Structure 1
Amino acid sequence: MLEHGGRLLRAVRQYGIAREHWLDLSSGIAPWPFPIPSIPVQAWARLPETHDGLEQAACRYYGAAQLLPVAGSQAAIQALPLLRPPGNVGVLSPCYAEHAHAWQRAGHQLTALDETQVKASLDHLDVLVLVNPNNPTGRSLPRETVLAWHQRLAARGGWLLVDEAFMDNTPACSVVDCAERPGLIVLRSFGKFFGLAGVRLGFVAAEGSLLSRLADLLGPWTINGPTRVLAQASLADQATQHLQRERCAAYSLRLAQLLARGGLAVSGGCDLFQYVRCQHAAHLHDHLARSGILVRLFEQPSALRFGLPACEADELRLAQALATYKKDTP
């Protein structure tokens, strides 16, 4: 398996610190879960129904014409490369590593691209994959740019796959409302913004024929009954959604300021995390872990991603660990 954030039990074993004493900032997941509704017994006892209103609630929330629920957007990431014959795939990098891994495993030829190389490469690609806002850098591409790239690819029968896992905080930048256009596929993650990653839910927006092929590949009952109940309640809870956007924005700004005071220049980020490129990332990662603080380490380029602390006490703990590192590092 590829490296991911959120592997807290591994850190518990490696550093000998009990789980309850950790501050886990290794995943870009909102640290304030939405309220869990009452789950009817029938949701546990019966096979899930696909006409219970989940798809309609998701379409209203995302502003999409049609969507396919999947068991986390990871399920779609692994399945979509199987729906095209092997071809040339560009991946806007750095990027969530599972994308490149899935396309390469399915026999496609991959090219890592930075933003300045995409325009000149489009006519040689069958598929372009991008994460917007980017994971891990937080870089957000303008909607107009994304749609222009799609238009060029679609004119030759190509695909543009846009992973919008971190888009809920800035919905005006999304292209999900255009996903019925041939060749445009948009992934949305439920768990990150709603703070409920454990339910394993995501959505795919695309033209109907492609969604049908993807549904056939994934098979029936991909979303369990309790998740379908929980998701509908969260997708309809506009008051908590508004609160979540406000506090994510506020705490992300506070995190950026905290890191700056700790001597770390923020290189990027969004309302769910901050990203710091630094040569000593591995050393700092280890120092924080020895203080019971888990962050996400990247080797190429050398960088750290910090998720949002949930409260002032967590912020203070991180600030103290950074101050100790700054004091002890020549």
Structure 2
Amino acid sequence: MKQDSTMAAAAPVRQPVQTVAHGGDLSGLRAAYAGDWLDLSTGINPVAYPVPPLTAEAWTRLPGAEELAMLLEAARQAYGAPVEAGIVAVPGTQAAIQLLPRLSAKSRITILGPTYAEHAHVWRAAGHDVTELDSLPGNLNGIDVLLAVNPNNPDGRTLGLPLLRRWHAELSTRGGWLILDEAFADVVPEASLDMDAGKPGLVILRSFGKFFGLAGLRLGFVLGPPALTDAIAAALGPWAVNGPALEIGTAALRDTAWQTAMRDELRVRSRRFDQAMRDRGIHVLGGTPLFRLAKINDAAGFALALRGQGIHTRIFEAQPQWMRFGLPADEAEFWRRLDLVLKGFSL
């Protein structure tokens, strides 16, 4: 990837228009439906990391270089990245997703889908030639950049490390790139390729907010060759990560006991969720310990019925039988409301 030397003409400052549907925003639903909502439209941990008390300086001082270095070292240790790998903190991995296409020469990029729609959207918007595949590529001929979400959102598909290393070796040999979005890898660390971070042609995105349940903090990381992570840092400018995020992120990433216990807790919760869905005649296709993907014949109609009971889920226009559920914080209340819906809805 290289930075384009040309500068775009200045454009009027305005609020960007959202063109990709996402979960997590209840604003419109609250206007249309009264009552308390159970928002299961994201894959964010319902059991958030307990935020420690913050120093006054986290709020009153500009974020410092020492605090940033501490955060990056905590992330490197937590992810198992080698010391030679470049690592940069970003204000949420969405910021990195937006930047990567702008730091790349025009490329032929293949995205393994169906997956998080922002990837294809931002690469197309930046003028790249984008192909989306619903199956694994038979070969990598004609591909400059291969992008995969691993484990995948929304079906939880994981790609084995030997396959990823083979793809990376082939692409990097001819100057190509393998980009891995590991937003949900905290719950399945065995799927992560972070131990290879820093090698030419390999870019890895890590999300903080999903596993730690603190999505509002807006924190993430990019691991890759130092030249690339330096370019991202330069593009973001100073103080890209706020003071509270530096302190909370460092504490959480160092807390390996909490992380281990939470992985176990989420596995138990997801298995319990699957069994309860099966007991109600709902087929679970897959997912990760943070979200589950179910098959519903009329997912749009079922989503509408769920909204009547204050349950917000995620449906997909291109896959009309798919419905993704985040894990509920209040399981008893979720099943109570779901059972009310099932009394009047034929699956």
TM range (shorter): over 0.9
Query: Which residue number corresponds to residue 46 of structure 1?
Result: 61
Structure 1 Cα separation of the partners of residues 305 and 330 of structure 2: 22
Structure 2 Cα separation of the partners of residues 29 and 54 of structure 1: 21
Contact 1:72 1:200 in 2 (8 A): yes
Are 1:113 and 2:128 an aligned pair? no
Structure 1 Cα separation of the partners of residues 163 and 346 of structure 2: 42
Query: Which residue number corresponds to residue 294 of structure 1?
Result: 312
Amino acid at match of 2:37: W
Shift of 1:238: 1.7
Count of residues in correspondence between the two structures: 323
Query: Which residue number corresponds to residue 64 of structure 1?
Result: 81
Shift of 1:257: 1.4
Secondary structure class of the residue paired with 2:151: coil
Structure 2 Cα separation of the partners of residues 165 and 289 of structure 1: 27
Are 1:178 and 2:196 an aligned pair? yes
Amino acid at match of 2:215: A
- Residue number among 240, 255, 262 corresponding to 2:280 in the alignment: 262
Shift of 1:187: 0.3
After superposition, the Cα gap between the structure-2 partners of 1:319 and 1:279, relative to the gap in structure 1 and judged at 3 Å, is: closer
Shift of 1:321: 3.8
Amino acid at match of 1:78: Q
Q: TM-score scaled to structure 2, two decimals?
A: 0.90
Aligned pairs for 1:116-127 (under 5 A) are 116=136, 118-120=137-139, 122-127=140-145
Q: TM-score scaled to structure 1, two decimals?
A: 0.94
Q: Can you list the C-alpha shifts for 1:135-167, whole angstroms capped at 9, x where unaligned?
A: 111111111111111111111101111000000
Query: Which residue number corresponds to residue 339 of structure 2?
Result: 320
Are 1:279 and 2:297 an aligned pair? yes
Shift of 1:106: 0.6
Secondary structure class of the residue paired with 2:179: strand
Query: Which residue number corresponds to residue 4 of structure 2?
Result: none
Contact 2:309 2:341 in 1 (8 A): no
Query: Which residue number corresponds to residue 207 of structure 1?
Result: 225
Query: Which residue number corresponds to residue 237 of structure 2?
Result: 219
Contact 1:137 1:275 in 2 (8 A): yes
Query: Which residue number corresponds to residue 7 of structure 1?
Result: 25
Structure 2 Cα separation of the partners of residues 60 and 218 of structure 1: 23
Structure 1 Cα separation of the partners of residues 300 and 37 of structure 2: 18
Structure 1 Cα separation of the partners of residues 243 and 116 of structure 2: 29
Secondary structure class of the residue paired with 1:188: strand
Structure 1 Cα separation of the partners of residues 290 and 110 of structure 2: 26
Structure 1 Cα separation of the partners of residues 337 and 267 of structure 2: 18
Shift of 1:294: 0.6
Identity of aligned residues (%): 43
Structure 1 Cα separation of the partners of residues 121 and 337 of structure 2: 33
- Residue number among 144, 157, 162 corresponding to 1:144 in the alignment: 162
Q: Can you list the C-alpha shifts for 1:161-210, whole angstroms capped at 9, x where unaligned?
A: 10000000111220011111101000000000001001000000001011
Structure 1 Cα separation of the partners of residues 196 and 203 of structure 2: 9
- Residue number among 215, 231, 251 corresponding to 1:233 in the alignment: 251
Structure 1 Cα separation of the partners of residues 340 and 205 of structure 2: 36
Larger helix fraction of residues: 1
Q: Can you list the C-alpha shifts for 1:190-244, whole angstroms capped at 9, x where unaligned?
A: 0000010010000000010111111111111110011100111111112211221
Unaligned 5+ residue runs, structure 2? 1-17
What is the RMSD of the two structures over their aligned residues, measured on CA atoms? 1.4
Structure 2 Cα separation of the partners of residues 316 and 110 of structure 1: 41
Contact 1:255 1:315 in 2 (8 A): no
Aligned pairs for 1:72-91 (under 5 A) are 72-91=92-111
Contact 1:119 1:149 in 2 (8 A): no
Query: Which residue number corresponds to residue 33 of structure 1?
Result: 48
Shift of 1:319: 4.1
Structure 2 Cα separation of the partners of residues 167 and 227 of structure 1: 20
- Residue number among 316, 327, 343 corresponding to 1:308 in the alignment: 327
